[in-house]
């Protein structure tokens, strides 16, 4: 069963700023998250702003997301480059406000690229 994926504004901005060679890899992983959000190298985040959220590793990138079991939705909060301070930086990022219908729905890489280019 598929899950409905949505990107926060911050995650959409980060996705747009990825190098073209990595964009496809990250987009495929988002598709995989939509199929099964707990499959693969998924771990809970234990501290910082995203405490309680999940992260999935994609090469040097980390996709940070939360899942809502009741509504079968996945909210992708951030796409971060993994560095020494990645998870410390997440504690310093501003909390995003609920977007009230202004979320960006992720359908596929092709549709996303036509929306952002």
* Contact call for residues 26 and 61 (beta carbons, < 8 A): yes
Q: What is the pLDDT of residue 77?
A: 92
| Residue spans per domain, the chain | 4-116
Angstrom distance (rounded) from CA 94 to CA 107? 26
CATH architecture of 4-116: 2-Layer Sandwich (3.30)
> CA-CA distance, 116 to 12, in Å (whole number)?
9
The answer to whether 53 and 77 are in contact (CB under 8 A) is yes
Predicted confidence at residue 55, as pLDDT, reads 92
pLDDT tens digits along 3-22: 888 999 999 999 989 998 88
Kindly state the tokens that stand for 62: 């980390």
Where residue 1 falls among pLDDT bands split at 50, 70, 90? low
pLDDT tens-digit profile of 21-55?
A: 888 899 899 999 999 998 988 999 887 788 889 99
Q: How far is CA 104 from CA 52, 59, 99, 114, in A?
A: 22, 24, 9, 13
pLDDT: is 114 or 37 the higher one?
37
Distance (Å, whole) CA 59 – CA 10: 20
Predicted confidence at residue 103, as pLDDT, reads 46
Q: pLDDT (tens digit, 9 = 90+) per residue, 58-101?
A: 988 999 999 998 899 999 999 998 765 555 555 444 444 444 44
**Maximal C-alpha separation, the chain:** 36
Provide φ and ψ at 67, rounded to 5°.
-120, 145
């Amino acid at each position: 069963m598929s899950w409905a994926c949505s990107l926060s504004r911050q995650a959409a901005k980060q996705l747009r700023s990825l190098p073209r060679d990595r964009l496809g890899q990250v987009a495929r992983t988002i598709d995989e998250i939509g199929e099964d959000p707990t499959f693969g190298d998924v771990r809970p985040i234990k501290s910082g702003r995203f405490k309680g959220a999940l992260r999935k590793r994609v090469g040097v990138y980390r996709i940070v997301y939360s899942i809502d079991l009741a509504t079968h939705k996945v909210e992708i909060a951030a796409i971060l480059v993994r560095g020494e301070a990645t998870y410390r930086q997440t504690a310093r990022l501003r909390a995003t406000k609920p977007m009230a219908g202004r979320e960006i729905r992720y359908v596929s890489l092709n549709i996303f690229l036509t929306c952002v280019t």
